[in-house]
Amino acid sequence: MYDEKGQRYLDCINNVAHVGHCHPDVVKAGAQQMELLNTNSRFLHDNLVLYAQRLQATLPDKLSVCYFVNSGSEANDLALRLAWQYTGHKDIITLENAYHGHVSSLIDISPYKFHQLSDVEQNPSVHVAASPDVYRGKYRADHPDPAKAYAGEVKDIIHKVQDKGGKIAAFIAESLQSCGGQVIPPAGYFQQVAEHVRKAGGVFIADEVQVGFGRVGTHFWAFQLQGDDFVPDIVTMGKPIGNGHPMSCVVTTKEVAQAFMSSGMEYFNTFGGNPVSCAIGLAVLDVIVKEDLQGNALRVGGYLTNLLEKQKDKHPLIGDIRGRGLFVGLELVKDRCKLTPATAEAQEIIYQLKEQHILLSADGPHRNVLKFKPPMCFSTEDVDLVVDKIDHILTELEEALGLKFPDKLNVENDGSKRKVSLTQLSVHVPVQKIRTKTKYTNIFLCSTSLISFIILFFFFSKLPSDENEHLCHSGLIYTKGNNPGVTKQTKRLKT
């Protein structure tokens, strides 16, 4: 990207310009069709049929009816109408921290938005299930079956709704949560949720507005990450579909579409599926194939994830790296055990990157997750540049905070998993300070195996636990003179 003065910027977050800003093929397709004809969708045009066929070919056969609209919000609003009409039910289950659009019906099912409102009662027909977050959530990576556990919470909600006389119309979820912090649901979660919801007479709506069209690399649609045995009843799409041109789509089954038609109310959308929009949509699909952008997302996304994992080994502020393809989140924490969000530090990184002409942003409920969802033409050279800058900024922040890994003690935390090397404990070090729940305890690290064993036993008996009783050690120490409860500030850094 370039500003009005010709300054070049690296865009790491624009998932709307899916195939690249102002891609010449997309611009040409739109301009040529506009020169020829643009009209409302009451008039049939070949582009509408051709685009519907091309789009449907990327989806499971069951999803065969397309409704073209103009934005992700329109698409999700229409999806709710389809669900209500098909099921005859009213209640909707959504996920914690979810965002599905800006119109009134969608604010109601978007905790990411309505939790910001004060003195506003939640819609009684909307029910919020726990986000299937295996890093920060209730059921983490160390749980024997987090997918079943999280799906079980949806099942519990269904029973509570039914006990009060309600009936479930739909469960709606982003296939990968974006505003919620780049959350990747555990494999099998959607299948089990769909089973519970369908048994209750509801349908499953997969929101692909942010993550569709090959972004995850291995598949064209993110819901396909769950496996071939999972097919939603309704899929919504937007943002990347037109590479910045306002268009979107809802795709559903014949059964749902027929029930919608049986209401007697004709559905009409003036601009949805107009010739220019469909020409642009076709061009986007062509570019994805011609330039192998789905393959690029897989290759470059894997390269990005690998580089960030190496940074995690260097920087104590990095708590988790997660993602698929070119949809990646880097969660910053002040303590890897308690998962204390490093919100101010995340904002500082964003500010400093912008000053160096790199555009990145943060999201999640604590605004501490750096999110990568760049145009699909993102390259390994782009990855090298942004990761190198993040490395330098993190180094400066951690020096200012007095935060570093211990030189001799290696403790790794992933949920409740810990690895401690006895050989590293069995070294001649006069005094090593280990942080406990309430104070610093001095222990002597001696070379004999017996003493090392005793130290190891004592060490784990004193480990702090987080809010879900996950025992671990942050693996961090603070340099002499720095109180762990007091944070030194860099420019703009607020705690």
Instruction: Dump pLDDT digits (tens) for 236-269.
Output: 999 999 999 999 999 999 999 999 999 888 888 9
Q: Which pLDDT score is estimated for 41?
A: 83
> Based on the domain organization, do 53 and 154 belong to the same domain?
yes
DSSP codes of every residue in 392-451: HHHHHHHHHHTEE--SS--EEEETTEEEE-HHHHSS-EEEEEEE-SSSEEEEEE-SSHHH
Q: Which two tokens stand for residue 423?
A: 């050989």
Question: Is it the case that residue 457 has pLDDT exceeding 60?
Answer: no
CA separation for the pair 10, 419 (Å, rounded): 38
Domain assignment of residue 303, given as a range? 293-402
CA separation for the pair 370, 378 (Å, rounded): 17
Q: Which pLDDT score is estimated for 423?
A: 30
CA separation for the pair 382, 300 (Å, rounded): 9
Residue 493 lies in a domain: no
Q: Which pLDDT score is estimated for 485?
A: 38
> Based on the domain organization, do 274 and 150 belong to the same domain?
yes
Residue 2 lies in a domain: no
Percent of the chain with pLDDT over 90: 76
Residue 490 lies in a domain: no
Quick one: DSSP state of residue 224?
G
Q: Which pLDDT score is estimated for 461?
A: 47
Q: Comparing C-alpha atoms, which of 216, 155, 230 is closest to residue 188?
A: 230
179-189 b/e (C-beta count within 10 Å ≥ 16 → b): bbbbbbbbebb
> Based on the domain organization, do 418 and 374 belong to the same domain?
no
Q: Which pLDDT score is estimated for 10?
A: 97
For residue range 350-379, list pLDDT tens digits in order: 999 999 999 999 999 999 999 999 999 999
Q: Which pLDDT score is estimated for 407?
A: 61
Residue 13 lies in a domain: no
In CATH, what number is assigned to the domain containing residue 299? Answer: 3.90.1150.10
For residue range 173-211, list pLDDT tens digits in order: 999 999 999 999 999 999 999 999 999 999 999 999 999
CA separation for the pair 251, 209 (Å, rounded): 12
Last residue of a domain, one of 242, 274, 290: 290
Question: Is it the case that residue 142 has pLDDT exceeding 60?
Answer: yes
> Based on the domain organization, do 395 and 470 belong to the same domain?
no
CA separation for the pair 328, 431 (Å, rounded): 40
Span 49-68, average pLDDT = 97
Residue 12 lies in a domain: no
Question: Is it the case that residue 46 has pLDDT exceeding 50?
Answer: yes
Q: Which pLDDT score is estimated for 452?
A: 45
Alpha-helical regions (H) of 339-379:
343-355
Q: Comparing C-alpha atoms, which of 233, 309, 239 is closest to residue 62?
A: 233
For residue range 415-454, list pLDDT tens digits in order: 444 444 333 332 223 323 323 333 333 333 333 344 444 4
Q: Which pLDDT score is estimated for 263?
A: 85
Domain count within the chain: 3
User: Could you tell me whether strands 340-341 and 358-359 are parallel, antiparallel, or unpaired per DSSP bridges?
Assistant: unpaired
- The pTM of the full predicted model, rounded to 2 decimals, is 0.84
> Based on the domain organization, do 175 and 195 belong to the same domain?
yes
Last residue of a domain, one of 269, 290, 311: 290
> Based on the domain organization, do 158 and 181 belong to the same domain?
yes
> Based on the domain organization, do 220 and 255 belong to the same domain?
yes
Contact 386, 360 (CB under 8 A): yes
- Quick check: helix, strand or coil at residue 58? coil
CA separation for the pair 59, 232 (Å, rounded): 10
Q: Which pLDDT score is estimated for 412?
A: 45
Last residue of a domain, one of 402, 433, 457: 402
Mean pLDDT of the chain: 86
pLDDT band at 284 (very low <50, low <70, confident <90, very high): very high
Question: Is it the case that residue 479 has pLDDT exceeding 80?
Answer: no
pLDDT band at 119 (very low <50, low <70, confident <90, very high): low
> Based on the domain organization, do 263 and 180 belong to the same domain?
yes
CA separation for the pair 372, 329 (Å, rounded): 6
Q: Which pLDDT score is estimated for 472?
A: 56
